[in-house]
Amino acid sequence: MASENEQFGLTGPSFLTAIDWNNSHHRRSIAASLVQGVYILERDRRQNRQGPQSLAPPWWEYFNFKMVQLLVDDHDVSYFGAIYEFNNFPYPYPNYPGQRPPHYVIAFRGTINKSGNRAEDFKLNLHCMINALQDSRRFHIGMESARDIVSRVGPGNVWLAGHSLGSSIALLIGRYMAKTMSAHLESYLLNPPFTSPPIERIKNEKVKLGLRFANSVVTAGLAMATGGGHNSKAPENDPFTVLSSWIPYLFLNPGDMICSEYIGYFDHREKMESIGAGKIGRLATKHSIGSIVSGATRKDYEAVHLIPSAYLTINSSPSQNFKEAHGIHQWWKQDLEFKYKLYQYK
């Protein structure tokens, strides 16, 4: 029997009867709904819901999209992503005032903790934790699809979207597209995992600042000791400089220990500047201790979850539990309290 959360008419953002593409709440709700469509596609497959019984199509059809390609994992034959095309989109594109709808959206789901999905999804979560997700088939399949679409319609007409593990895949693709093709894809990353202890969850501000400062000093020191802190790269070859003009949208909940450290990561960089330790902060921003250690054996090894610039949307409304704080449904709910902050690396 289908759950209420799977049915668009019961839990989806059906209140969006007139889409304003200049409205950030509308764009966020649509991106989250398209990702939810991937979750429901996989649940339809697992429960053999076909034709009229399928619950997935309303999650994209309501917003005038059609699903044009499924992204299938070679290992467990699951649907981990989908490519949506905006219906009746003529070429050349019409002149929308301000923000216009994307021609294509490439969306990736997160972990499904159910029999048949659990093993492969948890293995990829482990890959994410050890900074090895770029070696996975899901990343390579998604990357190949992104390259193909961008080469046909241009980067300004393509969105990336993902939730949890799926946002890590989308983040990786966005990074590689920016670095290798100078293509800055509009990216909606919902609850993206930050692979370090969740210091942001500590309530005492002095303790948080002390721990982060100590971590920055250690990280910067290790980077200097291993050669990563020397200005040996020209600005155009430095990964952070190359990526700094790509500004993905990050959607975070302080109650979600998986993603909340992104809040502290960006905020701490500003605090380091304010206390005169900006050089240490900037150096630590580029590296993690894990990436430095691994970089001793792998050339140009990067901490791929660390990004120079981002537009943060923080859901500061209270969550009842971790499941709600990490869930995708929060990102299209009405009457929530959000905080917004743009961080640009200089």
Q: What is the pLDDT along the chain (346 residues), one digit of tens a residue?
A: 678 899 999 999 999 999 999 999 999 999 999 999 999 999 999 999 999 999 999 999 999 999 999 999 999 999 999 999 999 765 445 555 678 899 999 999 999 998 888 889 999 999 888 888 999 999 999 999 999 999 999 999 999 999 999 999 999 999 999 999 999 999 999 999 998 776 666 776 667 666 665 666 555 555 555 555 544 455 566 777 889 999 999 999 999 999 999 998 898 887 777 666 556 556 656 554 344 334 444 445 567 888 999 999 999 999 999 999 999 999 999 989 999 999 998 7
Quick one: pLDDT at residue 39? 98
**What Å distances lie between residue 91 and 66, 160, 195, 303, 310, CA to CA?**
17, 21, 41, 39, 30
Residue 294 host element (H or E): helix 289-295
Q: What SS3 class is residue 3?
A: coil
Contact criterion met (CB below 8 Å) for 163 and 328:
yes
Kindly state the tokens that stand for 139.
Answer: 């990343």
3-state helix, strand, coil in the chain (%, to 5): 45, 15, 40
Burial class (CB in 10 A: 0-12, 13-18, 19+), 196: middle
The pLDDT of residue 295: 45
CA 95 to mean position of chain CA atoms: 29
Q: Tell me if 303 sits within 8 A of 287, measured CB to CB.
A: yes
Per-residue confidence (pLDDT) for residue 135, from 0 to 100? 92
The CATH code belonging to domain 4-343 is 3.40.50
* Torsion of the alpha carbons at 190, 136, 131 and 282, rounded to the nearest 10: -60
**By C-alpha distance, which of 344, 279, 284, 272 is closest to 308?**
344
* CB-based burial label for 269 (10 Å; 0-12, 13-18, 19+): buried
Q: What pLDDT score does 225 carry?
A: 57
Distance from C-alpha of 188 to C-alpha of 170, rounded to nearest angstrom: 8
User: What span, in angstroms and rounded, lies between the C-alpha atoms of 126 and 286?
Assistant: 22
Count of beta carbons in the 10 Å neighbourhood of residue 182: 11
Give the distance from CA 271 to its chain's centroid. Answer: 24
Token output for 307: 């990004």
Q: What does pTM read for this prediction? A: 0.87
- In single-letter form, the type of residue at position 264 comes to G
Distance of CA 168 to the CA centre of its chain: 5
Q: For residue 191, what are the contacts with CB-CB under 8 A and spacing of at least 6? A: 110, 163, 164, 167, 251, 252, 253, 256, 258, 259, 326, 328
Instruction: Note the pLDDT of residue 92.
Output: 47
Per-residue pLDDT at 236: 60
Place of tokens 């668009």: 8
What whole-number distance in Å separates Cα of residue 167 and Cα of residue 178?
A: 16
Contact, 243 vs 175, CB < 8 A? yes
